[in-house]
Structure 1
Amino acid sequence: MAQHTLLHASAGASLLTKALAVLGGSAVIALGAQVSVPMLPVPMSLQTLAVLMVGLTAGARLGAAAVVAYLIEGVLGLPVFASGHFGLPYMMGPTGGFLLGFVGMAFVAGLLAERGVARGFVGTGVAGLLASVVLYVPGIAWLYAVTPLDLSGAVSAGMVPFLLGDAVKIAVAALAVTGAWAALRARRD
């Protein structure tokens, strides 16, 4: 049996319920973005943890939709990006590839949860790792394209300093999500 997600649990859910799930997910991501450590050229924040957890719990479509809603909120002027930043100019800067990569990250995490890969701590950790790879591809490519950094410099500035933190965030997400699903199952029994 595949890992449950809100998407599976709400297959017959109303449009309003799904919209609330998307808006709730975007709010979780916005809150995660505000817990950040200023670094150049890309800040370190809890966004990746929030995106991962939203994808794993909401599923591929609703998780990706929550990220798209978050990005639209930021472009429209809400201070949802790291450290309260907002607007299209910020999104087009060095962090833009990572912001766009969050859509793919949430989708892949949700898809892997729906397919049963994100089952238990190890499976959920593997899903988090694969989803993180999806984040780094556009993030590094964008950083390379919009800064004077060469590819090695983009990897050194946009990925290497974040790997340990991302490993911790993946472990936290795996613990939190598997624990929450276990608690829900126990409550139903």
Structure 2
Amino acid sequence: MKSISLRELILAAIFSAVIVVLSQITIPAGLVPFTMQTFAVGLVATILGKKIGTISVFIYLLLGLIGLPVFAGFSSGFAVLFGPTGGFLVGFLANAFVTGWLCELKENNLTMAIIANLVGALLTLVFGTFWLQLAASMSFGAAAAAAFTPFIIPGIVKAVAAAFVGILVTRRLPVAARS
């Protein structure tokens, strides 16, 4: 396996900060709030690709796990990461990897970036729904009604926006693009 360069680590750290900032844009909506976290994860994966994008998300999750208030609503800790909505956070790893991988198939291609971000957003919702079902001892229908259905339209909008902005950034700032 190829080692990670200092440049890649710095990019991962910088883009972890982007996720932190965008995660604070939150609209409370019952058990699962609307946040810009999924937009941020898709954006990071589109720009950085599967390897560095996933590392960036991992750093973000690690920061929250150790107690820094980086998750939505300035929350953090073990209870948040492994609580009822923690599946969304864990799902960000799968989202970043798959989105980045699909974006790498056709670099700087908006159509592929949109597809990649839609698939990644779907993965996040699936992780979040199943996790909520288990953590809150809910039926699958109740979990889907709380954690999946209300987020379909916002997820599509955020995925398309993340793809568009991500492709725009990689075309304008190739230094930030995948290495």
How far the C-alpha of 1:45 sits from its partner, in A, is 0.5
Larger Rg: 1 or 2? Answer: 1
Matches within 5 A, 1:20-169: 20-116=10-106, 119-169=108-158
| Runs of 5+ consecutive residues of structure 1 not aligned to the other structure | 1-10
TM-score (norm 1): 0.85
How far the C-alpha of 1:184 sits from its partner, in A, is 4.5
CA distance in 1: counterparts of 2:136 and 2:155, whole angstroms: 23
CA distance in 2: counterparts of 1:88 and 1:34, whole angstroms: 18
Look up the SS of the partner of 1:79 in the other structure: coil
How far the C-alpha of 1:40 sits from its partner, in A, is 2.3
Aligned to 1:5: none
How far the C-alpha of 1:137 sits from its partner, in A, is 2.2
Identity of aligned residues (%): 33
After superposition, what is the alpha-carbon deviation per residue over 1:125-172, rounded to whole angstroms, capped at 9, x for unaligned? Answer: 111111122212221110000113210111110011111111111121
Look up the SS of the partner of 1:170 in the other structure: helix
Tell me the amino acid that sits aligned with residue 49 of structure 2: G
Instruction: Provide the alpha-carbon RMSD of the alignment.
Output: 1.8
Large movers: runs of 4+ above 3 Å: 181-185
Tell me the amino acid that sits aligned with residue 125 of structure 1: I
How far the C-alpha of 1:64 sits from its partner, in A, is 0.8
| Runs of 5+ consecutive residues of structure 2 not aligned to the other structure | 175-179
TM-score (norm 2): 0.89
CA distance in 1: counterparts of 2:95 and 2:36, whole angstroms: 14
How far the C-alpha of 1:93 sits from its partner, in A, is 1.2
Tell me the amino acid that sits aligned with residue 157 of structure 2: V
Tell me the amino acid that sits aligned with residue 83 of structure 1: G
Tell me the amino acid that sits aligned with residue 131 of structure 1: G
